[in-house]
Amino acid sequence: MTNGTAKESGSVDKRLPQHIAIIMDGNGRWAKKRGLPRYAGHPAGVEAVRGVVEVCVELQIPVLTLFAFSSENWQRPQKEVNLIMDLFMRSLKKEVRRLERNHVKLRVIGDRNAFADNLQQQIEEAERQTENNQGLLLQVAANYGGRWDIAQAAKRLAEQVQLGKIAPQQIDEEQFSRHLCFADVPEPDLFIRTGGEKRISNFLLWQCAYTELYFSDMLWPDFNRKALEEALHDFSSRQRRFGRTGEQVQDRTAEAS
Ligand code: IPE
Ligand code: IPE
Ligand code: MG
């Protein structure tokens, strides 16, 4: 894939994912390899975020979801957690103007109640400042866990049943998924994990049921335009069958063209 494919063709490439979800892993190892303390990898990770957002904007990818901090990451040493929170705060303040320029709309997903009040306010402020932007939707998953997402959806549904708004018989997959985070956007087409591990680590559990998985050994701060383009190229060669046979999928593609 060459740079700016979507721009050059004047339309969005149909083989491009409409939603990319990324587990940005490997910041600590990246820093240690350089003889630095592991938390020094996180600011370098923010640089990589900037680059990936830029490519997604260029390619007119509608949604990008980044796993920034999991509900399990609170278990890290307090010093590292504090530094990550500090970095989150500073990045929100600093990046909002760049997001504006690129027409990026920011949304933070996860249980934000656990964050300090001033961080919660900064999140709201950044979301408000970018809410009318019509370009890329950038979803940052912070204090997010896939199980938390499913449990909070179950809780909201139970409340509706208790209020008599819906009957238990009405609960199906469609109804359930309306209560998950970002029910208004398509599920991810492409999931990328950097850092070499091949696991989901409690990221989007429900939403990744049919997502194409791509694992890279590259450490997140090194993940650049070329690496993303490689992932997109790999994605474009996959046949997504959603339970059908390969032949059925080919027939449908032929009919559509
Ligand atoms: C990912 O990088 C960033 C967060 C989880 C906040 P890590 O900090 O997990 O880096 P490694 O996996 O230890 O190298
Ligand atoms: C997943 O990375 C979470 C984020 C990238 C935010 P971890 O480094 O926390 O995952 P594990 O612990 O290796 O599974
Ligand atoms: Mg890690």
Rounded to the nearest angstrom, the distance between the alpha carbon of 150 and the centre of ligand 1 is: 24
146-to-22, 58, 153 alpha-carbon distances in Å: 14, 29, 11
In this prediction, residue 2 carries a pLDDT of: 39
Tell me if 31 CB under 6 Å of ligand 1. Answer: no
Ligand nearest to the CA of 223: 1
Tell me if 88 CB under 6 Å of ligand 1. Answer: no
In this prediction, residue 220 carries a pLDDT of: 99
Torsion of CA 172, 173, 174, 178, to 10 degrees: 110
Question: Which residues are tagged catalytic?
Answer: 25, 73
Here the tokens at position 257 are: 């063209």
Class of domain 19-145+186-256: alpha beta
Vertex 170: Cα angle to 166 and 171 (nearest 5): 100
Tell me if 180 CB under 6 Å of ligand 1. Answer: no
Counting as low any pLDDT under 50, the low residues of the chain are 1-12
Confirm if 21 and 204 have CB atoms less than 8 A apart. yes
Q: Where are the domains of the chain?
A: 19-145+186-256
Rounded to the nearest angstrom, the distance between the alpha carbon of 91 and the centre of ligand 3 is: 20
In this prediction, residue 164 carries a pLDDT of: 98
In this prediction, residue 77 carries a pLDDT of: 96
In this prediction, residue 10 carries a pLDDT of: 41
Tally DSSP H helices, then E strands, for the chain: 9, 6
Confirm if 195 and 173 have CB atoms less than 8 A apart. no
Confirm if 202 and 146 have CB atoms less than 8 A apart. yes
- Dump pLDDT digits (tens) for 17-38: 999 999 999 999 999 999 999 9
In this prediction, residue 14 carries a pLDDT of: 61
Rounded to the nearest angstrom, the distance between the alpha carbon of 97 and the centre of ligand 3 is: 29
For residue 68, which atom of ligand 2 is closest to its CA?
A: 6
